[in-house]
Amino acid sequence: MNCTRCKTKAVLKLPRHNAAFCKDCFNSFVHDQVYKAIRSQEMFGKNDRILVAVSGGKDSLALWDILLKLGYKTDALYVNLGIGGYSESSQEKVVHFSKTVAAGYGAVLHIHTVEREGGAGIRELAMMVHRPTCSTCGTIKRYQFNRIAVEQGYDVMATGHNLDDEAARLLGNVLHWQNEYLEKQGPSLPASVDGFAKKVKPLYRLAERELAAYCVLNGIDYVVEECPMAQGARTLLYKEVLNRLETESPGTKQMFYWGFLEKSRTTEMPTNIMEKDRSTLHPCSLCGQPTTAETCSYCKLMARANTSTAG
């Protein structure tokens, strides 16, 4: 099997593109896909300060690596969720990458520890407030990512969601006709009101398998295990269904998600999002971050956790 571009020996075959690549050409392909995503969705420019949310997994570390190599000013934020050995291992991978790769570009790693602010890890907090662990985790991560991006003066916050993630999320939203979530399904969401950072997903053109290959070929050490809290998550089922379809018909995920984005372009969705947010959001009475209620979800969660502890 030879490389589609340079005709030397290929190391990876990509059925959805009907192509095969050697290491160098594959790296060029990955970088090109991310650059196309950035340009086509008007995510950010070379003068913008970018904050990548890193977890220690392949996608977020690959994203940090790619953006640095493309010449973007990119720092990172790691939120330690306090999930025992899993969080410890994840932080080790992030710190290692920061010291061995990112530091050479002058990039900075921010670390936020949930236990220091909340007094307990995610599992314990979820039990205190009687909410599912994944729901509690999502509330905390979204809050801290946005808060730190805004407070530290970053122009954009980037996450490592890939094509598989976005296609699975889209499938779930379509099956349940979650119109509000469908409106915000795109890979670039504007900073609609003061206190919100612009949020982007530069990896939406790349599949999970491609990003794993990128990490292996470039020596990026990452946490292979899935989060132990994610077992039984509905998203994993949607991914299994889409993987089966992809095996039978390569390019299915791409056609599904990219087709949705193409259709969405004609509805001026970002404008609708900004108008809706500006009419419904206002500062939280406790922390000042945007919310539709008097008190934001994070402040409510922490108040319930504190009440549970006091009781």
Q: What is the DSSP string of 242-297?
A: HHHHHHHSTTHHHHHHHHHHHHHHTTTHHHHHHHHHHHH-EE-TTT--EESSSS-H
Residue labelled with tokens 């977890």: 55
Instruction: Give the per-residue pLDDT at 309.
Output: 64
For strands 73-80 and 49-54, give the pairing.
Answer: parallel
All structural domains of the chain: 40-223+231-310 (3.40.50.620)
Residue 214: exposure state from Cβ atoms within 10 A (0-12, 13-18, ≥19):
buried
Instruction: Give the per-residue pLDDT at 101.
Output: 98
What residues of the chain score a pLDDT lower than 70? 267-271, 309-311
User: For residue 141, which of 160, 155, 154, 128 has the smallest C-alpha distance?
Assistant: 160
pTM across the whole model: 0.93
With residue 157 as reference, give the H or E element that holds it. strand 156-158
Q: How far apart are CA 106 and CA 17, in angstroms?
A: 35
Q: How far apart are CA 240 and CA 246, in angstroms?
A: 10
Helices (H) and strands (E) counted in the chain, each on its own, are: 13, 10
Q: Which residues pair with 200 in a beta bridge?
A: 158, 188
What is the CA angle 109-295-52, rounded to 5?
20
Instruction: Give the per-residue pLDDT at 264.
Output: 83
Q: Within 10 A of 243 (CB to CB), how many other CB atoms are there?
A: 17
Contact 261, 170 (CB under 8 A): no
Cα 202 versus chain centre, distance: 9
**Which residues make Cβ contacts (< 8 Å) with residue 278, sequence separation at least 6?**
192, 193
Instruction: Give the per-residue pLDDT at 311.
Output: 52
The token pair at 61 is: 């570390």
Mind listing the pLDDT tens digit for each residue in 240-282? 999 999 999 999 999 999 999 998 877 655 557 777 788 889 9
Instruction: Give the per-residue pLDDT at 271.
Output: 59
Contact 11, 207 (CB under 8 A): no
Strand order in the sheet with 49-54: 109-113, 73-80, 49-54, 156-158, 198-200, 188-189
